[in-house]
Amino acid sequence: MHKFIWLHMTTTDLETELQQLGDEGRDLSSVEAEIAALKAADFDLPETQARFRKFMDDVQSLPTNDGLAAREPDELDAIRALRPSDRVELGPVPQDIDERLKGAWCGRAAGCLLGKPIEGYRSKLVDPILAGSGNLPMHRYLRSDDVAPGTWDAAFGENVWSGAFLIDRCHGMPEDDDMNYTVTGLATVEKYGRDFTSGDVVTFWLENIPILHTCTAERIAYRNFVNGIAPHESATYQNPYREWIGAQIRADYFGYVNPGNPELAAEMAWRDARISHIRNGIYGEMWAAACIAAAFTTTDVRKIIAAGLGEIPAECRLADAIKEAIVWRDSGISLREVIEVVRAKYDEDSWHVWTHTITNAVVVAIGLLWGEDDFEKTICAAVEPLYDTDCNGATAGSIFGTAHGLSSIPAKWLDPLQDSLETGVKGYEKVSLTGLAEKTAKHLPA
């Protein structure tokens, strides 16, 4: 039987949907028999696929935790009404914005390149390889000789991305969705202006990004667009990944074009995020965009993180988790100690937890908090805990590069990039990172 893997739902998707429903506070007692039947069913059968899709439709009407729902709205006005009252005040934006934008783009690419070869792998495999190759604590890109000759592919399976991103095998920055979406942000603003709508984002995706260059929530949303389902329903309709990290990795450009204005950066991020995500999935993109906008004005990572928190609901789960990371930092524990704390709290063997916005935003915050105003320490601290390694290294590198500028990034991290980026976005297949920064400057507010 031929099956379309790119839209084929699996038992893992069922488990993800059940965990997501639990996160939303849904009462599943009335559907326990159907859950048991689905767990026992063969997901290769078309009738099971149809049954699961009907289940995803039906559970949207189940009772939910009203208190949690009230603390975690999706609409912008409601989100803003729940922001903390003590939002941070930022200083003026320095004059060296061009330097900051180059640092942002290159910092994002370097962090992404560091994390990509080990994306998707768990600590029981990765930690021994890092330790055995002298790269734990991490302090360099991964190479093909980090394991015995000829055994990398055996260790990491048939992951073509892993090989492409090993530092001795790549020439410049290869394509990755984390960089694709930053370019997409640029191209969207280029085409529609700073007042782009959620519908404009949808149109741009359909015209310029092949569906197989998207993943999880974005791929489901893409399918929904094709079937005529508009935002915000495109985020909720049969989408078990609706609070995963996909929106957070799309945040950066909206921070780049709003120096010192985290509120507007978060608003642009909201317009983008709502096409594919809900609740904390939306907040992750708003938080990251606001952090980047704030980073133009300060190198104080606590102030940067606070500026991001100032644009999302004060009592949402994401805010609580990031504030807990700050408590861990204040306790004085080491990076290795906090990594163990994170792994104990966030189950890396659960795909839902592993790819969730909250888990990975916490890891980004750890990268910033334990980074000690050092680019290398920041991106390595964001990758070493694992989880979504390329996403977290990219976001941490982007924030650091924005705060400190291109000159703060050592040559050992910049040179392998060759100021070159490949993307899956139409019209941007091979571009210069510094050229993208120069184009970004043209999108700044007048």
Question: Which pLDDT belongs to residue 157?
Answer: 56
Question: CA–CA separation, 72 vs 316, rounded Å?
Answer: 6
Structure tokens at 300: 């104080």
171-187 CB burial, b ≥16 within 10 A, e <16 = ebbbbbbbbbbbbbbbb
Let me know if 25 is exposed, middle or buried by CB neighbors in 10 A (0-12, 13-18, 19+): middle
Sign of torsion, CA 362 236 228 192?
negative
> What is this structure's pTM?
0.96
Question: CA–CA separation, 258 vs 204, rounded Å?
Answer: 21
Question: CA–CA separation, 170 vs 172, rounded Å?
Answer: 6
Question: CA–CA separation, 269 vs 271, rounded Å?
Answer: 5
Question: Which pLDDT belongs to residue 144?
Answer: 84
Question: Which pLDDT belongs to residue 161?
Answer: 46
Neighbours of 369 (CB within 10 A): 21
Question: Which pLDDT belongs to residue 145?
Answer: 84
Question: CA–CA separation, 298 vs 222, rounded Å?
Answer: 37
Domains and CATH numbers, the chain: 5-64 (no CATH), 76-113+174-441 (1.10.4080.10)
CB 309 within 8 Å of CB 86? no
**Helix 11-23 and helix 46-58, axial crossing angle in degrees, nearest 10:** 0
Low-confidence ranges of the chain (pLDDT < 50): 1-5, 158, 160-161
Half-sphere exposure of 176 (CA within 13 A, CB side): 33
> What pairs with residue 244 in β-bridges?
356
CB 173 within 8 Å of CB 109? yes
Question: Which pLDDT belongs to residue 131?
Answer: 93
Question: Which pLDDT belongs to residue 163?
Answer: 66
Asked if omega into 352 is within 30° of 0 (cis), the reply is no
CB 322 within 8 Å of CB 84? no
Question: Which pLDDT belongs to residue 146?
Answer: 85
CB 244 within 8 Å of CB 357? yes
pLDDT tens-digit series, residues 172-229: 999 999 999 999 999 999 999 999 999 999 999 999 999 999 999 999 999 999 999 9
CB 180 within 8 Å of CB 425? yes
Using the structure block, give the residue that is written with the tokens 């999880």.
216
Of the chain, the end-to-end C-alpha distance in Å amounts to 57
pLDDT tens-digit series, residues 90-130: 999 999 999 999 999 999 999 999 999 999 889 998 999 89
Question: Which pLDDT belongs to residue 151?
Answer: 55
Question: CA–CA separation, 345 vs 255, rounded Å?
Answer: 30
CB 394 within 8 Å of CB 376? no
What residue type is assigned to position 236 of the chain? T
Question: Which pLDDT belongs to residue 148?
Answer: 66
Question: CA–CA separation, 403 vs 176, rounded Å?
Answer: 24
Residue from 100, 108, 105, 114 nearest 412 by CA: 114
Question: Which pLDDT belongs to residue 162?
Answer: 56
CB 137 within 8 Å of CB 335? yes
Asked if omega into 137 is within 30° of 0 (cis), the reply is yes
Question: Which pLDDT belongs to residue 150?
Answer: 53
